[in-house]
Structure 1
Amino acid sequence: MKGYGAGGLSAAAQQAAKRRWKGQPAAVFVLVFFSLLVPLVFLLGLQNRFPSGYLADVRSQQESNFDTYRNVTREQEQISSKDVPHVPPHVPPPAEELNKRIKETLVSPTSQLKNYSSQARGGELKSNGPIGVGDGKPSHDTVLSVYETDRSCEHEFGSYCLWSRRHRRVMKDSIVKRLKDQLFVARAYYPSIAKIQGKETLTRELKLNIQDHERMLSEAVSDLDLPSLVGKKIANMDKVIAKAKSCPIDCNNVDKKLRQILDLTEDEAHFHMKQSAFLYQLGVQTMSKTFHCLLMRLTVEFFKSPASKVEHISASKSVDPSYLHYVIFSRNILAVSVTINSTVTNSEESDSIVFHVITDKQNFYSMKHWFVRHSYGNATIHILNFDELKSNHVSNLEFGEMSMSEEFRISSHTTSQQTPLQMGTKYLSVFGHSHFLLPNMFKDLKKIVLLDDDVVVQKDISFLWNLHLGGKVIGATEFCGVKLGHLKSNLGTAVYDSNACAWMSGVNIIDLEKWRELDITGVYGRIVDQLKQENEAQWRATALPANLLAFHGHIYALDNTLVQQGLGHDYEVSEDSVKDAVTLHYNGNMKPWLDLAIPKYKNFWKKYLTRDERYMEECNVNP
């Protein structure tokens, strides 16, 4: 037989066997090498003491869209060179020291923001020039003032930063703070003491005291949680630290260790700020369990009790141009009910009012049943399903889901030096893409008043119907704190007046006939197509430049006293201004139906909230 020689194997087979034998040791060597390398990398990571969760921090700019202002305590904290904060990396630092470190950390410039982006009812733009309204130029002597630090913090973290400072709790547990300070110093001295010959006893004492402190702090949050022997432990640690300080050691080594612990603590604080801001935004933009319960209960009850009769009565008025037609886009039952109730309550004649509430298919039946259960004066309320309207009215504009008014946080430099310290923020709200179907939705109407669902009407606004717009398409309040020239990097190559002011949605009177004549919807669609869109967020973000350009030269400026803006982000609006305003606009993230709402403005919204609703009580809805 072939293949077998005197030794039982051919020469070729023997050579192959030798090659396999030589390859096996090489493979074993590689496995051993990597088995040693992986634990080594892990141990080095522990030695550097990465903060828990920090490695997973992408540090994206999604956080930049968390757009809610809060008032800030204007107290500048003096940092003494003798009073170094002593906080171990893995133990939560004291609130006072943490906030001090956060302020200093946020002074440094962060990663650049995208030109513009958009999320659910929120976006962020970066302006090219200074915005002059309300942004005073800071002097060189106050570069590190609390005001400017607040600006840089707000630029990076959005309004969550100011909200968190408004609600921060100063640490009052002095004994816990004392333990943390001692632990901070002991850890700084320990590496240097351990290297000194003849100090083995002191090294052992220092190590045991560090372990005792770590054990107590791992089980205690407040002074009441500490064991009864804590006083003795503190005294022992003081003695050991005094001994360590008396040893002849290199101060540079202690200084390096202190700086290392401080840097790691700052990094951990920054990570937790980002994490908290994300959770804050999650709470702002997601529907709570109680609201979802209310939505489901109303939807189920609708199919148990049809409202065909009421719909028939509503349909008879919905196309009559002699009535006063108000249009509201909303997915929020409570929000739209407050807007409607406040408008009707303060109207001299509610018989002539027709509300067209446009919502999506998810909320359509719950909306219908809510307004069957509740009447608001003699006003007629007509509920429309946007998804049906979209399919019936084809446009060049590519429509997705129903979009509300889009809100954008504008970041601008207040001085020529472009650093985060000089960043100011303003809020703009404009029409969403869905609003540009209005002329097709209401073909029989000549004029409408468009209200956002975060608007409260405090006085009769029927005078808007008597305004002569002078050939303009919409009446809106202008916001000259932001001019088109400030947004030139976002407006493309279009021709426009750089000194023209931006305008705000919220309360708008619209001449639908003029809109159709000028084909504003077509112009808007072409502008959106020209702007670069790589994803849904950028597609929604085009709403701002497209709105400003499509209506450029077609805005009738309403009196700014008509609408009090900023109640969803600005703590500095005076109560008298709120009381005297014709309408209130809660633009910003801090909507009045949220727990995060600004308390002193919330009551102006709650006074028009529908009461005695059984489903609200069963679902524990109590905004």
Structure 2
Amino acid sequence: MIRLCDGDDEFLVLLKKLREELTRALLETSSTDGQIGIREIEDPTLLPASFKDLVKDVTSNKQDIKTFAFKTKAMMAKMEQMVQSARRHEYINWHLASHGIPKSLQCLSLILAEEYAVNAMARSRLPSPEFVSRLTDPSFHHVVLLTDNVLAASVVISSAVNSSTHPEKFVFHVVTDKKTYTAMHAWFAMNSINSAVVEVKGLHQYDWSHKVNVAIKEMLEIHHLIWKNKYDSLKEEVFEYQQELEKNLEVLSPSFVSLLNHLRIYIPELFPDLDKIVFLDDDIVVQHDLSSLWELDLNGKVVGAVVDSWCGRDCCPRRKYNDFFNFTNPMISAKLDSDRCAWLYGMNIFDLQAWRKTNITATYHQWLKLNLNHGFTLWHPGALPPALLAFEGHMQRIDPSWHMAGLGHRVTQVNKYMLETAAVIHFSGPAKPWLEIGAPEVRSFWYRHVNFSNGFIKRCGTTG
């Protein structure tokens, strides 16, 4: 047992008194709105840089304990503001990085385009003549990709083939833009996929009617205006919370104004001879056989999609209708339930025969025009919100194990069991797997399907 002498008792009494005075002073210096009173400092830059400097300043100027408490709280508030500002800037930079295209991907497109120009094999017919009949044969499994990313298309197709028990039943239809067509064609012409058939077609090779061309142009123009209106409004806003900043930065992604991203609403026109297709985004990895998707009973509906997340029925973090639509507008609040879960785009089974019997595409355009007439305030930019409206009543839920999405967001913790058991994992969100900003523990699931022994991959310095 330690015994205290009288001097120690006096010191403890003094220490207790000092603590009480300091507590009282800290309470008195709190702002009336409950915030620390940094606003009351005329020039916050004159505050001491460290606690040591603060003690020196107070003792040398013989300031009272209330002044000490006031400056302490002001310094704490200033440091908190600096931390929050640093976090915001870091997050903004992270999002800006997500808009870039890695040099390795640019390199791959350039050298493949060059190969197409000088190498007859790179220009060989896709598919070869003996397999052309499969392109419209309903007994095969038809998969559609709309993409301008050669490496991403390669990963989607190779992962789907490697995961299939009968790859010879698959036909992949890759639609790309004019600038990417030669590179995309060259890649699949020189890197044949075991057993499966691949077709590569450029948008410039479609002979659409004048009516369809006008409608597509109008659709893209309205999506551009929606995006620009959101961009202009965000320039004037200051976001206090990270989650609010994240949601608004995400809708400014360039992919939200990409023609290939929005062209999925025209799949029946792109493939007039097909009856049933699986649509895959280019930021997915197939891990299990997809064949049974074509056997699903959609109960007369047009699209089969995952609605619920792995956390249970009607559990869908970041995917409530309230996250996509403006429910202050009576047109939206009267039509939709804000607490409803949105279905996932990016791995869907479409019954094109059923689609052609509906007015889904026309409804999609009607909502675009309504949004235009309401000052672009009905929903946030993106392909999903108008699709949710157009496909209302035409969607069939499928089992959540088919599609695990959201891996392109900042992943703090990933359930490895879920990752491995999902039929398709989807890097929806800013951090695409080919970007260095993605989480290594999930990017590895994508890179395992990249053929690093390929000569073109080696020349462009692609690394996992």
Question: Same fold per TM (> 0.5)?
Answer: yes
Map 1:99-138 → 2, pairs under 5 A:
none
Instruction: Tell me what 2:220 maps to.
Output: 400
User: One-letter code of the match for 2:63?
Assistant: I
Q: Percent identity?
A: 29
Map 1:125-164 → 2, pairs under 5 A:
none
- 2-structure distance, mates of 1:597, 1:420: 22
User: One-letter code of the match for 2:394?
Assistant: H
Residue 451 (1) aligns with residue 268 (2): no
Map 1:150-299 → 2, pairs under 5 A:
184-185=50-51, 187-188=53-54, 245=59, 248-299=62-113
User: One-letter code of the match for 2:400?
Assistant: N
> 1:300 is paired with a residue of what secondary structure?
helix
Residue 615 (1) aligns with residue 456 (2): yes
Q: 1:304 to 1:539 in 2, by over 3 A?
A: farther
Instruction: Tell me what 1:320 maps to.
Output: 137
> 1:275 is paired with a residue of what secondary structure?
helix
Instruction: Tell me what 1:489 maps to.
Output: 327
Q: Is the 8 A contact 2:329 2:378 kept in 1?
A: no
**Pairwise CA RMSD of aligned residues?**
3.9
> 1:503 is paired with a residue of what secondary structure?
coil
Query: How far apart are residue 460 of structure 1 and its match?
Result: 1.2
Instruction: Tell me what 1:602 maps to.
Output: 443
Residue 572 (1) aligns with residue 413 (2): yes
Q: Deviations over 1:273-306 (max 9, x none)?
A: 3322222112112102222122211111111114
- 2-structure distance, mates of 1:537, 1:371: 42
Query: How far apart are residue 519 of structure 1 and its match?
Result: 2.2
Instruction: Tell me what 1:199 maps to.
Output: none
Q: 1:422 to 1:485 in 2, by over 3 A?
A: closer
Q: Deviations over 1:305-357 (max 9, x none)?
A: 14443236265432333322100122222222111011111212222311111
The higher radius of gyration belongs to 1
> 1:336 is paired with a residue of what secondary structure?
helix
Q: Is the 8 A contact 1:455 1:583 kept in 2?
A: yes
Q: 1:394 to 1:475 in 2, by over 3 A?
A: same
Q: Deviations over 1:396-432 (max 9, x none)?
A: 342439x9xxxxxxxxxxxxxxx96998999999994
Query: How far apart are residue 552 of structure 1 and its match?
Result: 1.0
Quick check: 428-437 or 581-590, which moved more?
428-437
> 2:111 is paired with a residue of what secondary structure?
helix
Q: 1:425 to 1:573 in 2, by over 3 A?
A: farther
Residue 374 (1) aligns with residue 191 (2): yes
> 1:566 is paired with a residue of what secondary structure?
coil
User: One-letter code of the match for 1:351?
Assistant: E
- 2-structure distance, mates of 1:368, 1:284: 26
User: One-letter code of the match for 1:489?
Assistant: F
- 2-structure distance, mates of 1:343, 1:600: 21
> 1:541 is paired with a residue of what secondary structure?
coil
- 2-structure distance, mates of 1:254, 1:504: 56
Q: 1:525 to 1:390 in 2, by over 3 A?
A: farther
- 1-structure distance, mates of 2:201, 2:168: 20
User: One-letter code of the match for 2:327?
Assistant: S
- Structure 1 residue runs without a partner (length 5+): 1-80, 83-106, 109-180, 193-243, 404-418
- 2-structure distance, mates of 1:533, 1:282: 31
Q: Of residues 525, 530, 534 in structure 1, which corresponds to 2:370? A: 530
Instruction: Tell me what 1:592 maps to.
Output: 433
Instruction: Tell me what 2:395 maps to.
Output: 555
Q: Is the 8 A contact 1:478 1:560 kept in 2?
A: yes
Instruction: Tell me what 1:118 maps to.
Output: none
Instruction: Tell me what 2:230 maps to.
Output: none
TM-score, with structure 2 as normaliser: 0.71
Query: How far apart are residue 596 of structure 1 and its match?
Result: 2.1
Instruction: Tell me what 2:289 maps to.
Output: 460
Q: Is the 8 A contact 1:353 1:379 kept in 2?
A: yes
- 2-structure distance, mates of 1:274, 1:422: 11
- 2-structure distance, mates of 1:311, 1:537: 44
Q: Is the 8 A contact 2:105 2:151 kept in 1?
A: no
User: One-letter code of the match for 2:99?
Assistant: Q
User: One-letter code of the match for 1:459?
Assistant: H
User: One-letter code of the match for 1:607?
Assistant: R
Q: 1:563 to 1:274 in 2, by over 3 A?
A: same
TM-score, with structure 1 as normaliser: 0.54
Q: 1:434 to 1:534 in 2, by over 3 A?
A: farther
Q: Of residues 303, 320, 329 in structure 2, which corresponds to 1:474? A: 303
Aligned length: 380
Residue 365 (1) aligns with residue 182 (2): yes
- 2-structure distance, mates of 1:492, 1:433: 26
Q: Is the 8 A contact 1:329 1:358 kept in 2?
A: yes
Query: How far apart are residue 484 of structure 1 and its match?
Result: 4.4
- 2-structure distance, mates of 1:445, 1:184: 70
Q: Is the 8 A contact 1:396 1:522 kept in 2?
A: no
Query: How far apart are residue 262 of structure 1 and its match?
Result: 4.5
